Amino acid sequence: MVYYKQLKPAVTRFRCDVPGLDTEKVYVVNGKRVHPHVGQQGFQIRVEAARLPTKPLQVINVREGNGLAEIYCENRLTIAAGASASLIVCDHTASERRFVTETLNTITLEEGARLDLLLMQNEHNSAVHTTKVNVQQAPRSSFSCTVVTLHGGIIENQIHVELQGKEAACTLNGLFLCDGDQRVTNTVQVRHAVPLCRSKQLFKGLLNDHSTGHFNGHIIVDKNAQQTEALQENHNILLTHSAKMYIQPHLEIYADDVKCTHGATIGRIDENALFYLRSRGISLTEARLLQQFAFAHNVIERIALQPLQERIAALVNKRLHGELYPCTC
């Protein structure tokens, strides 16, 4: 087990400049830690309350080289009782090969622990990446996760949260932008196993060209989980007639004293709003981009760290303008 303060920056040619803030960096290249413990598969980290980190932890996953081997990587993160941490996980591809990657992140939040997690995916059109996040929460723990998919070929995110202790809370947010023939799937399952827990979900998608999106949302409220509050929202904009979005919201409730809602929409750009913006001298192209950014910003503003929020907003804006902004080698 590696403690947070024992982490040292890796020596590598790859530099991820997504955060725009000082972070403790861990590099995982082709599924293996670069430094320390060269060649170690994935990472195991425990954050202790007595060793509270002063910087966010950033895990930078990179696929590179000419090999086409499928890679499976498993990471484990434990936040001890009373501790808190911020984790940024960035997925990148440094060459345009057909990389197939599966990553499992197992997260344990002990009593009163807190974790803010950002998953940022910026891969090329041939990348196939499945990211699994399994979270177990003890009493009074708090988990916040935002998934931002800027680019990728076939991207699948699977998030499974178990609220196992009273007064635990989780907030799950997601934003994906896809065009061409890209496919993005977000599968989210939240299980309320005990009373007095809260969960919120907000996932949004912007789909262009022939791209395809999927959202599978599942909330389970066990029979003993009275006074549960659970909210699920999924909203999407199709920018072309050939883009497709599939939604499967699902509430499975076995308790009777609960507040549970879900809502899902698939729509197009608001023509009335476009007319208003154009009447103010804004071009049609820019008016469409302003609407798209406003739609996306509702998710971006939920990122906990302000400098990171601003950086992601800038990257999303560039992506909407058709500019790929890969991190540099």
**pLDDT digits (tens), the chain, 329 positions:** 444 444 444 434 445 555 556 788 888 888 787 755 445 677 888 988 876 667 888 888 888 877 667 888 889 999 999 999 999 999 998 878 888 999 999 999 999 999 999 999 999 888 999 999 999 999 999 999 999 999 999 999 999 999 999 999 999 999 999 999 999 999 999 999 999 999 999 999 999 999 999 999 999 999 999 999 999 999 999 999 999 999 999 999 999 999 999 999 988 876 766 655 666 767 777 788 888 888 899 999 999 888 889 889 999 988 888 766 555 43
Residue 66 gets the label, from left (phi > 0), alpha (psi -120 to 50) or beta, of alpha
Q: What pTM did the predictor assign? A: 0.89
Strands (E), the chain: 2-3, 24-29, 32-33, 44-47, 57-63, 71-79, 84-93, 100-109, 114-122, 128-137, 142-151, 154-163, 169-178, 183-192, 198-207, 212-221, 228-238, 244-253, 258-267
Reported as type and span, the H/E element at residue 279 is helix 271-279
The Cα 125–Cα 96 span in angstroms is 8
Bridge partners (DSSP) of residue 84 are 114
* Kind of pairing between the strands at 24-29 and 32-33: antiparallel
Give me the residue label for tokens 């509430």.
251
Cis link prior to 53 (omega < 30° from 0)?
Answer: no
Are 33 and 43 spatial neighbours (Cβ–Cβ below 8 Å)?
A: yes
Q: What is the pLDDT of residue 43?
A: 80
The total of other beta-carbon atoms located within 10 Å of residue 35's CB is 17
Q: What is the pLDDT of residue 17?
A: 54
Are 200 and 163 spatial neighbours (Cβ–Cβ below 8 Å)?
A: no
Are 133 and 147 spatial neighbours (Cβ–Cβ below 8 Å)?
A: no
The total of other beta-carbon atoms located within 10 Å of residue 301's CB is 12
Q: What is the pLDDT of residue 12?
A: 44
The Cα 137–Cα 187 span in angstroms is 19
Radius of gyration (C-alpha) of the chain in whole angstroms: 20
